[in-house]
Amino acid sequence: MDYLEAIKAYNVREALPSTGKTALLVIDMQRYFEGVARPILKNVLSLLSACRTAEMKIAYTRHGHQDPKVDGGMLARWWGDVIRYGDPEWELIKEFHPRPGEPIFDKTRYSAFHGTNLDAWLNENGIEDLIVTGVLTNCCCETTARDAFVRDYRVLFVADGTATVNEELHLASLKNLAFGFAHVVDVKVLCDWAKSTPHPSRRGI
């Protein structure tokens, strides 16, 4: 499906990332979600490569609970089954290899900001724009995007670099985010932008 065409009535605010002030956030691309994540894996890896080439800040999240009775909260009560911290399914999908300087923020709630140092890390690095990719579109990705918006980050949400259990839920999130919280974009636009952007280390040359 052409997601941008499907949501064009709501996706009326166009934007590209700000050079030197943008970070890519890869949300919960873990083995637990591999069945949902596999269809977007190529797109996310392409975007990751382009952002590395552009010397963009990159971070990951990883969801997991050490003791659901203590750190599970309503999320654990809602789902019953949760990802256990340290289990094989908690690990990132094998194609992802964070490099030095690409932190992983471990979390226990939908929002990547809740109980983590993500906001501090973004501020320390002068980040104003946040590119959101990963899974699930309508849970951790959407909640993080909304949370980023209310913290005054400009959010670029990747339509074909996020995924959930079905298209109905995916499109519902894209429409809601486009309406009030994020610039919904696709991988090609971001990769083209990243490839054409001067690398920070080359500025002034």
What percentage of the chain carries pLDDT values higher than 70? 97
Domain membership of residue 52 (yes or no) is: yes
Which residue bears the tokens 């490839």? 195
Domain membership of residue 172 (yes or no) is: yes
pLDDT over threshold 70, residue 203: no
Residue 180 identity (one-letter amino acid): G
Domain membership of residue 169 (yes or no) is: yes
Edge to edge, the sheet with strand 154-163 lists 104-107, 57-63, 22-27, 129-135, 154-163, 183-185
Domain membership of residue 202 (yes or no) is: no
174 is written with which tokens? 């894209």
Does this model's pTM top 0.85? yes
CA–CA dist 167, 197 (Å, integer): 32
What CATH number does residue 64 fall under?
3.40.50.850
pLDDT of residue 200: 63
Q: List all residues 6 or more positions away from 114 whose beta carbon is below 8 Å from its beta carbon.
A: 107, 108, 147
CA–CA dist 113, 105 (Å, integer): 9
pLDDT of residue 1: 86
pLDDT of residue 199: 67
pLDDT band of 195, cuts 50, 70, 90: confident
pLDDT of residue 197: 80
Domain membership of residue 129 (yes or no) is: yes
CA–CA dist 107, 141 (Å, integer): 13
CA–CA dist 145, 111 (Å, integer): 8
Instruction: Spell out where the chain has E strands.
Output: 22-27, 57-63, 104-107, 129-135, 154-163, 183-185
Reported as a single tens digit per residue, the pLDDT across 157-181 is: 999 999 999 999 999 999 999 999 9
What percentage of the chain carries pLDDT values higher than 90? 94
Domain membership of residue 203 (yes or no) is: no
pLDDT over threshold 90, residue 151: yes
Q: State the CB neighbour count (10 A cutoff) for residue 106.
A: 15
pLDDT over threshold 70, residue 204: no
Domain membership of residue 23 (yes or no) is: yes
CB 85 within 8 A of CB 104: no
The residue range of the domain holding 50 is 3-197
Q: What is the mean pLDDT of residues 35-44?
A: 98
pLDDT band of 202, cuts 50, 70, 90: low
Between the alpha carbon of residue 126 and those of residues 23, 39, 84, 114, 147, the distances in Å are: 10, 32, 33, 20, 18
Q: What is the mean pLDDT of residues 98-125?
A: 98
pLDDT band of 205, cuts 50, 70, 90: very low
pLDDT over threshold 90, residue 69: yes
CB 82 within 8 A of CB 68: yes
Domain membership of residue 204 (yes or no) is: no
Number of domains in the chain: 1
CA–CA dist 4, 10 (Å, integer): 10
Radius of gyration (C-alpha) of the chain in whole angstroms: 16
pLDDT of residue 34: 97
